[in-house]
Amino acid sequence: MPRFKVVGVGGGGINAVNYMINAGIKDVEFISVDFAPSMSLVSRHITLGSNTEECATADEHCEEILCALKEANMVIVVAGMGGATGAGAAPVVAKCSKKIGAFTVGVVICPFSCEGAERVERARNGINDLRNSVDSILVIPSEKIIDNLDKSTSLTDKFKEIDNIIRHGVQSICDIGHGHSFVGADFEDITMVIGDNKFAYVGIGEATGSNAPLKAFREAINSPLIEVPLSEAKGIIVHFIGDAPQLNLLELNETVMNIESYVHPEANIMWTGVLDDAMGDKLRAIVVVASQCRDYL
């Protein structure tokens, strides 16, 4: 089984990792990288220093990072890009991951525009730096997540929703990579679909009743979180989660046939599914859309 390691860098990344741990993601080793003291739930924490001014010294911890990442087949680096820690240290972690030969995915959380031009510019530069050291970079546009929620949603629940979307994206990659899907997809398929220096975006949809797979898929691809036209997509993963009665093979096949009409003619298309009786009468579709990497504007 491929070894997956998820690294939370800085406050935003560690919050997302803590959420994944509490959600019960299995067969993954979690690591955190931040300044002391850490609020991480992980058993392995790498301390960069005592204050954010020491972020530039992340390079000095490469040996410790390399040791923590040792034997990983895939490393997922999760970081908020508005602060100095994520923008400064995440690329260092990614370079260490590439050095050991691991397939490396960056998951970046973009700041809100109201946080100011300086943080937005730092995030833009951090994303462009990180993309040069990863095989794929998954972009989470926080502002669009918040805008899509009910106005009565509390601030705490809004941030939880951001972490929840990251969790679904990471869990889908891990489920497929570990061969948990009832469709014959595995680690190599993931690297083919989202690799080759691509930007990726995740959309989530849920549906019930007749034609639930198609309805959930359409809801997912219409998510405002997918910031590229599907016609430009060079790779797409559609991951279904549901109880056995909801995963109707004929309906799944109809949905898969529909995917081709949405994406680039040369796109790599992969669909997978896992059984989860806790879903009840709901079926969830998680869509990861990958397009060719470019400067993040």
SS (H, E, C) the chain: CCCEEEEEEHHHHHHHHHHHHHHCCCCEEEEEEECCCCCCCCCEEEECCCCHHHHHHHHHHHHHHHHHHCCCCEEEEEEECCCHHHHHHHHHHHHHHHHCCCEEEEEEEECCHHHCHHHHHHHHHHHHHHHCCCCEEEEEEHHHHHHCCCCCCCHHHHHHHHHHHHHHHHHHHHHHHCCCCCCCCCHHHHHHHHCCCEEEEEEEEEEECCCHHHHHHHHHHCCCCCCCCHHHCCEEEEEEEECHHHCCHHHHHHHHHHHCCCCCCCCEEEEEEEECHHHCCEEEEEEEEEEECCCCC
| Per-residue pLDDT at 152 | 79
Residues linked to residue 236 through DSSP beta bridges, in sequence order = 269, 289
Residues 29, 41: contact at Cβ < 8 Å? no
Report domain extents, the chain: 4-177, 198-292
| Per-residue pLDDT at 31 | 96
| Per-residue pLDDT at 142 | 82
Q: Considering the domain 4-177, what is its CATH architecture?
A: 3-Layer(aba) Sandwich (3.40)
The candidate with the shortest Cα–Cα distance to 146, out of 163, 128, 125, is 163
How far apart CA 212 and CA 280 sit, in angstroms, is 13
**Residues of the chain predicted below pLDDT 70:** 36-38, 50-57, 197, 293-297
Query: Regarding beta strands 282-292 and 198-208, do their DSSP bridges make them parallel or antiparallel, or are they unpaired?
Result: antiparallel
| Per-residue pLDDT at 111 | 81
| Per-residue pLDDT at 296 | 55
| Per-residue pLDDT at 260 | 85
| Per-residue pLDDT at 151 | 79
The candidate with the shortest Cα–Cα distance to 68, out of 5, 126, 24, 12, is 5
| Per-residue pLDDT at 262 | 84
CATH code for residues 198-292: 3.30.1330.20
| Per-residue pLDDT at 51 | 57
| Residue 128 backbone class (left: φ over 0; alpha: ψ -120 to 50; beta: rest) | alpha
